[in-house]
Amino acid sequence: MADEEEHQETELSDNQKIDIAKWFLLNSPPGEIQYVAKDLRSVLRDDNAYQMAASEAFPFYNKTHIISLQFPDRSGDVLVSSFSEISEDEYLDPRTAQVGKIDHVKQICTDIRPAKDEELPTPYIEEYRCALDAEVCKYVAEAYPKATRLSPQNFCNGSWRSIWNIEFMDELQTVEVRGKMQVGAHYFEEGNVQLEAQHECKDSTMFQSPDDSSFSLANIIRHHETEYMSSLETSYSNLPDSTFKDLRRKLPVTRTLFPWHNTMQFSLTRDITKELGIEK
């Protein structure tokens, strides 16, 4: 009797189900949370637990992945991030001076409204923001034509996220820059390979006019992101001689050695660069 009781499955509590569901949702690869949510809902077979998990996980996931959603009237896009957050489901787009209302679970923008004066940056800050936006857009169009590449039909998804904090130091007449770059990629054709990498950096430039400051800041961003991308390419070009070898036995049970002399066919660097659409 005791043995039978030990082997009986223990029923999870509602809180445990919610915590497990949230973990799976929050750890979904870029662009795949809707697929994970669909399967999770079927496995849970507890709609209340799923709804609770989704209501907590989706907003956090959307903000950390900085997803971009189109306005219903196609007049622009809004970034869902902690920096643009007006309220729990409202986010500011400074380019159009509009606020989008977001359905986090469906990942759509359901409505828009004009931004209030107090929700917009001051004219002085807006002059710098607008100039920097123009310069960064030029750089992004050149370097990241597909910074988010979702291609589940080809068993791969990926994204590049960069957050740059800029602080104007009036007394020192300098601009302090802090950057955080995050790369995510997932390949799941006949396997499951994920890349998660991030890098932080600091820099500074002179406090100048909006146009001159924006040009300098865009060049700083370009320099650090190009440098980081190059370091990633170098790291993954060395995978065949290091990490990949450590993942396999010296002589597998098939008695067939891995073809280390022809490892270019397993080039992650090439595939990641291609799928993210990143041009050097």
**Residue 167 confidence (pLDDT) above 60:** yes
pLDDT digits (tens, 9 = 90+) for 110-128: 999 999 999 999 999 999 9
In a domain, 5, yes or no: no
138 and 19 co-located in one domain: no
25 and 78 co-located in one domain: no
157 and 206 co-located in one domain: yes
Q: What does the pLDDT average to over 16-23? A: 94
pLDDT greater at residue 251 or residue 157: 157
* pLDDT value, residue 132: 96
* pLDDT value, residue 201: 97
φ, ψ of residue 274 in degrees (nearest 5): -65, -45
113 and 146 co-located in one domain: no
In a domain, 54, yes or no: yes
Selection from 216, 210, 205 nearest residue 127 by Cα: 210
Identify any residues that bridge with 144 across adjacent strands, giving them in sequence order.
none
**Residue 150 confidence (pLDDT) above 90:** no
255 and 127 co-located in one domain: yes
Q: Which residues contact 102 (CB under 8 A, 6 or more apart)?
A: 62, 69, 78, 80, 89, 90, 91, 108, 109, 110
Q: Count the neighbouring beta carbons within 10 Å of the beta carbon of residue 239.
A: 16
- Mean pLDDT across the chain: 86
42 and 72 co-located in one domain: no
pLDDT digits (tens, 9 = 90+) for 66-99: 999 999 999 999 999 999 999 999 999 999 999 9
pLDDT digits (tens, 9 = 90+) for 171-211: 889 999 999 999 998 988 877 888 889 999 999 999 999 99
In a domain, 6, yes or no: no
* CATH number of domain containing 271: 3.90.1150.210
127 and 253 co-located in one domain: yes
Q: Distance between CA atoms of 156 and 37, rounded to whole angstroms?
A: 18
78 and 183 co-located in one domain: no
**Residue 158 confidence (pLDDT) above 70:** yes
End-to-end CA distance of the chain: 67
pTM: 0.80
In a domain, 3, yes or no: no
Which of 103, 120, 137 lies at the terminal end of a domain, its last residue? Answer: 120
* pLDDT value, residue 225: 96
* pLDDT value, residue 273: 59
100 and 141 co-located in one domain: no
pLDDT digits (tens, 9 = 90+) for 226-269: 999 999 888 877 766 666 666 555 555 565 655 555 555 555 55
255 and 153 co-located in one domain: yes
Q: How many domains does the chain have?
A: 3
160 and 180 co-located in one domain: yes
Question: Structure tokens of 24?
Answer: 């799976």
* pLDDT value, residue 226: 95
**Cα torsion at 150, 152, 154, 158 (round to 10°)?**
40
Residues of the domain holding 44: 11-64
* CATH number of domain containing 106: 3.30.1140.60
* pLDDT value, residue 272: 52
126 and 225 co-located in one domain: yes
In a domain, 2, yes or no: no
**Residue 100 confidence (pLDDT) above 90:** yes
Q: Distance between CA atoms of 201 and 144, rounded to whole angstroms?
A: 20
Instruction: Fill in the amino acid letter for 171.
Output: E
Q: Distance between CA atoms of 75 and 95, rounded to whole angstroms?
A: 10
Question: Structure tokens of 261?
Answer: 């002399």
